[in-house]
């Protein structure tokens, strides 16, 4: 199952994954050693910082592009989820460069990155990227928003001009820009649709059909979610859409119909402020509440949601991602409101049961883990079994 590169925070383990992936592991191995990738989003030069699962820094890799700042943003200057996406199958990491209107492709070799390509996004201010199979799409936030698709050939991307779609969203400038630009692009787990959230711009979720060649439909199917301010998405084990709603401070589930329209199933409020980002593992989801400095746990049983409690994090909790084994949650705190380093808080949940059941899993409380100097996005790469030989590194960021 593929999980959207959440937020600007994404976790990837040493086996590779697409878009903030989480694998349905049921137990945590003592030998599990995963790598966490984080983007700095520096306006003078974006870079990827690699950490081990205990958040010890392993290396820094420039993207060859620059970060950017949306008007009015404080805790997350690109106000999005999915600024990093890991393709675990092909050992590639994709990173947006909002200030340069480019996308960087990295080869992944354990905790080492090799910059392979920097390519235009054919739009202004890219904020989110998603991957499925041989297809990659990026979301541009400014000038009304747009999406651009690419075909992966080996370890490089080829831009397909006919896979560009303008979103034609209302243009907002000034301090309201960060709430009125689109928040995320994500493939559904089967790769047959692309999901785009529009936040407060139109308060809707747009769904593009994807044809067999990877091209998007001419127009999306739009489902308005009044008052919700749809920000970020995840998917549960049955492929239902799980939506973080910043306006209502809630998490909601939807089915996606054959025509692309969303049908609501369940919704729960977090009781917190600015519920914008979401990460998940084994049908337990963690919503980051930037205005409260907390994470809310939500369990999903056949699409029906229930809250399981709140845990305090660093102030301004934003991007989050679970480890591939589901035993750790990484959350970025960004309340400094500057481009100086922020805090990422690692937390560990209680081990999952050795078998799955339809009853809610016990996943609370979260136990605070180590903190590290914060950046913009985080991705964790799943660990692999020890191998006799590793591919030679090719210096570069993600």
- At residue 333, the pLDDT reads 78
- At residue 369, the pLDDT reads 58
When the pLDDT of each residue in the chain is averaged and rounded to a whole number, the result is 80
- Write the pLDDT tens digit of every residue in 241-295: 999 999 999 999 999 999 999 999 999 999 999 999 999 988 999 999 999 999 9
Question: Can you spell out the DSSP letters for 81-102?
Answer: S-SEEEETTTTEEEEEETTTTE
* Cα–Cα distance, 292 to 289 (Å, whole number): 5
pLDDT band at 18 (very low <50, low <70, confident <90, very high): very low
- Write the pLDDT tens digit of every residue in 64-79: 999 999 999 988 899 9
Q: Is a pLDDT exceeding 80 seen at residue 393?
A: no
The structure tokens 């383990």 sit at: 13
- Write the pLDDT tens digit of every residue in 347-356: 333 222 222 2
What does CATH list as the number for 35-381?
2.130.10.10
Q: Where are the domains of the chain?
A: 35-381
- Write the pLDDT tens digit of every residue in 26-68: 111 223 357 889 899 999 999 999 998 888 899 999 999 999 9
- At residue 330, the pLDDT reads 87
Question: Can you spell out the DSSP letters for 339-394?
Answer: SS-EEEEEEEPPPPPSS--SSPP---PPEEEEEEEE-SEEEEEPP----S--PPP-
- At residue 368, the pLDDT reads 59
What average pLDDT score do residues 174-187 get?
A: 97
* Cα–Cα distance, 133 to 139 (Å, whole number): 18
User: Of 103, 111, 105, 110, nearest to 92 (Cα)?
Assistant: 105
> What end-to-end distance do the CA atoms of the chain give, in Å?
22
Cα separation values, 236 from 86, 159, 250, 255, Å:
19, 30, 16, 11
What average pLDDT score do residues 190-197 get?
A: 98
Q: Is a pLDDT exceeding 50 seen at residue 391?
A: no
Contact present, 281 and 326 (Cβ < 8 Å): yes
The structure tokens 């910059």 sit at: 115
């Amino acid at each position: 199952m593929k999980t959207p590169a959440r937020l600007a925070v994404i976790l990837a383990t040493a086996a590779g994954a697409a878009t903030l992936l989480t694998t349905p592991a049921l137990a945590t191995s003592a030998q599990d050693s995963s790598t966490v990738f984080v983007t700095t989003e520096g306006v003078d030069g974006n870079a990827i910082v690699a950490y081990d699962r205990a958040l010890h820094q392993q290396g820094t890799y420039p993207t060859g592009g620059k970060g950017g700042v949306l008007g009015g943003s404080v805790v997350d200057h690109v106000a999005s989820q999915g600024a990093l996406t890991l393709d675990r199958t092909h050992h590639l990491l994709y990173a947006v460069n909002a200030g340069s209107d480019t996308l960087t492709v990295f080869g992944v070799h354990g905790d080492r990155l090799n910059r392979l390509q920097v390519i235009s996004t054919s739009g202004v201010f890219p904020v989110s990227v998603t991957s499925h199979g041989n297809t990659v799409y990026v979301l541009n936030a400014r000038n009304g928003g747009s999406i651009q698709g690419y075909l992966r050939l080996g370890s490089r991307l080829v831009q397909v001009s006919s896979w560009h779609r303008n979103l034609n969203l209302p243009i907002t400038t000034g301090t309201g820009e960060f709430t009125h630009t689109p928040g995320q692009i994500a493939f559904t787990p089967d790769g047959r649709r692309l999901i785009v959230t529009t936040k407060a711009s139109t308060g809707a979720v747009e769904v593009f059909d994807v044809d067999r060649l990877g091209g998007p439909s001419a127009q999306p199917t739009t489902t308005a979610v009044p008052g919700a301010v749809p920000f970020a998405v995840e998917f549960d084990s049955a492929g239902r859409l799980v939506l973080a709603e910043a306006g209502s401070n809630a998490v909601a589930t939807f089915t996606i119909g054959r025509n692309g329209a969303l049908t609501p199933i369940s919704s729960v409020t977090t009781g917190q402020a600015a519920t914008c980002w979401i990460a998940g593992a084994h049908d337990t989801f963690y919503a980051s509440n930037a205005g409260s400095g907390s994470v809310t746990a939500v369990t999903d049983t056949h699409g029906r949601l229930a809250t399981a409690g709140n845990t305090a994090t660093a102030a301004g909790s934003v991007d989050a991602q679970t480890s591939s084994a589901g035993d750790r949650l990484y959350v970025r705190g960004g309340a400094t409101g500057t481009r100086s380093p922020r805090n990422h808080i690692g937390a560990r949940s209680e081990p999952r049961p050795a078998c799955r059941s339809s009853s809610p899993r016990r996943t609370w409380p979260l136990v605070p883990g180590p903190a590290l100097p914060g950046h913009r996005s985080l991705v964790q790469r799943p660990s692999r079994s020890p191998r006799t030989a590793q591919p030679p590194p090719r210096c570069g960021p993600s």
